């Protein structure tokens, strides 16, 4: 299965352990090698036999998958989470020994994780396993990049470690991972579907609309929750397979923390960074897909002309442009949006490209972009205050940045919408809508109902 053309693991470990400075108790070692083709989802499914947390990330529009198994190191932050996370990440890289001859995205030291939508909102029991900012450097990483496959091992070594013994232990776990690969299979059905406080949500929408009409905000995004109960414990790999099959042009993700797993298929890129090349996305304004080509075309044309949706979209375009101006140059934004079709929905879409200035990082950009007007509202301070005081749920990681960054100066973050928190044989799904001064309560309710469908469609609905 594995093509080993690189320096043997034992030799690399021996080199690091022998040269470990006397003032260092331990050191992170990262070793990447190229391997033969592997089905990343089968690898993810088989890895559950090791009883370690798993992470899955794929961009279905590109040939890019990352699967993380276990935990070599974890970065947590509560206060000043962007600055603290960046500082800990930089410190980690500065002290790591990285053996990676390939330098492609998603290899070497890779951190995958996310953040809470609003760390000032009191955390509920629902999200107790997910920190306000939590990034994992997995012990094992399988990466698919442009139909090439790589396997990375991340481990800490000490002066007392024996290279051969440590290498044997690592290779044993590696062999188990590749030997246990399984095709996911599941026949999940929804036994119970409960919309959480729908009437109170409508009342909150009315309150938000009134606040906007009295000039307390221009737009406020309000989310609601749906609670599901299944016939048995959900199989995460099976859910991921269905999401991949049904949702082209999306980021499919899963972050597993013990028995809980945050899963989704989001079309909304927050930012992608390749060296200094920056790409962001304005995705706001939503309509359903038509049942025929003619109906679909008419809906898309109506979406382009719809004043409410165009206003929503323009909020996001202006915010992203303003957020990038301090940190980048050569910002390019098309004058008009296009329609971005998905399986169940279509959105207004505008790409934004720029060049990141020296001295700034992906964390500077994420901090400026989150929350976008598509998930929070505008102005940011006023809309977030209303959400914090009035919204009926703890969003947790819903609507927040999730993604990855690597030691090769690559990173990508998406906005975690079209998502749910799976907890054994139960789940919470989340969907939101942008409220403006002319919003109709029932239309907003129906829009959120449509936004539940991407997850419902893979969970047995």
Q: Which of 260, 247, 243 is nearest to 458 (CA)?
A: 243
Cis peptide bond upstream of 371, omega within 30: yes
Question: H helices of 198-269, where?
Answer: 198-213, 236-246
How far is the C-alpha of 324 from the C-alpha of 353, rounded, in Å? 10
Whether 367 is a known active-site residue: answer no
Specify binding-site residues for Mg(2+). Answer: 312, 447
Whether 219 is a known active-site residue: answer yes
How far is the C-alpha of 83 from the C-alpha of 71, rounded, in Å? 22
Q: CB–CB of 112/66 below 8 Å?
A: yes
CA distances to 186, 303, 340, 450 from 437, in Å: 45, 18, 26, 21
The catalytically annotated residue of 34, 144, 219, 343 is 219
Specify binding-site residues. Answer: 312, 447
> What are the φ/ψ torsions at residue 52 (nearest 5 degrees)?
-120, 150
User: If 0-12 CB within 10 Å is exposed, 13-18 middle and 19+ buried, where does residue 18 land?
Assistant: exposed
How far is the C-alpha of 183 from the C-alpha of 42, rounded, in Å? 5
Strands (E), 276-400: 277-288, 328-332, 338-341, 345-356, 377-378
How far is the C-alpha of 271 from the C-alpha of 402, rounded, in Å? 10
Query: Taking CA 151 as the corner, what is the angle to CA 37 and CA 31, rounded to the nearest 5 degrees?
Result: 150
The catalytically annotated residue of 225, 256, 268, 412 is 268
Residues labelled as active-site residues = 219, 268
């Amino acid at each position: 299965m594995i093509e080993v053309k690189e320096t043997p693991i034992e030799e690399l470990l021996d080199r690091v352990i022998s040269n470990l400075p006397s003032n260092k108790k331990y050191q992170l070692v990262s070793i990447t090698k190229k391997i033969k083709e592997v089905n990343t989802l089968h690898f993810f499914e088989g890895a559950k036999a090791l009883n370690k947390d798993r992470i899955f990330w794929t961009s279905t529009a590109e040939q890019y998958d990352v699967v993380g198994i276990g935990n070599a190191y974890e970065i947590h932050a509560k206060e000043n989470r962007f600055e603290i996370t960046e500082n800990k990440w930089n410190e980690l890289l500065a002290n790591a020994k990285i053996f990676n001859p390939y330098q492609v995205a998603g290899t070497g030291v890779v951190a995958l994780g996310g953040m809470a939508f609003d760390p000032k909102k009191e955390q509920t029991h629902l999200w107790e396993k997910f920190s306000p900012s939590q990034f994992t450097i997995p012990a094992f990483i399988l990466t698919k990049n442009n139909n090439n496959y790589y396997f990375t091992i991340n481990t800490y070594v000490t002066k007392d470690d024996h290279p051969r013994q440590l290498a044997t232990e690592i290779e044993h776990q590696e062999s188990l991972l590749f030997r246990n690969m399984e095709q996911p299979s599941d026949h999940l059905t929804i036994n119970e579907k409960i919309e959480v406080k729908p009437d109170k949500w409508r009342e909150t929408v009315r309150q938000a609309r009134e606040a906007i009409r009295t000039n307390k905000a221009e737009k406020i995004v309000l989310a609601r929750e749906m609670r599901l109960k299944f016939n048995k414990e959900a199989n995460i790999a099976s859910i991921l397979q269905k999401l991949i099959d049904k949702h082209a042009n999306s980021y499919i993700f899963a972050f597993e923390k013990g028995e809980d797993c945050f899963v989704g298929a989001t079309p909304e890129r927050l930012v992608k960074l390749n060296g200094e090349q920056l790409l962001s996305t304005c995705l706001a304004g939503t309509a359903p897909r038509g049942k025929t080509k003619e109906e679909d075309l008419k809906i898309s044309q109506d979406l382009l002309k719809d004043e409410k949706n165009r206003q929503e979209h323009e909020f996001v375009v202006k915010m992203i442009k303003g957020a990038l101006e301090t940190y980048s140059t050569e910002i390019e934004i098309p004058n008009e949006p296009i329609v971005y079709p998905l399986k169940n929905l279509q959105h207004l879409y505008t790409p934004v490209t720029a060049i990141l200035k020296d001295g700034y990082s992906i964390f500077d950009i994420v901090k400026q972009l989150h929350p976008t007007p598509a998930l929070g509202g505008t102005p940011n301070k006023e809309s977030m205050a209303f959400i914090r005081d009035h919204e009926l749920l703890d969003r947790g990681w819903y609507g927040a940045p999730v993604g990855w960054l690597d030691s090769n100066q690559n990173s990508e973050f998406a906005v975690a919408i079209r998502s749910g928190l799976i907890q054994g044989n139960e789940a919470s799904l989340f969907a939101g809508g942008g409220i403006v001064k002319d919003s109709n309560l029932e239309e907003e309710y129906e829009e959120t109902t449509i936004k539940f469908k991407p997850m419902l469609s893979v969970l047995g609905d």
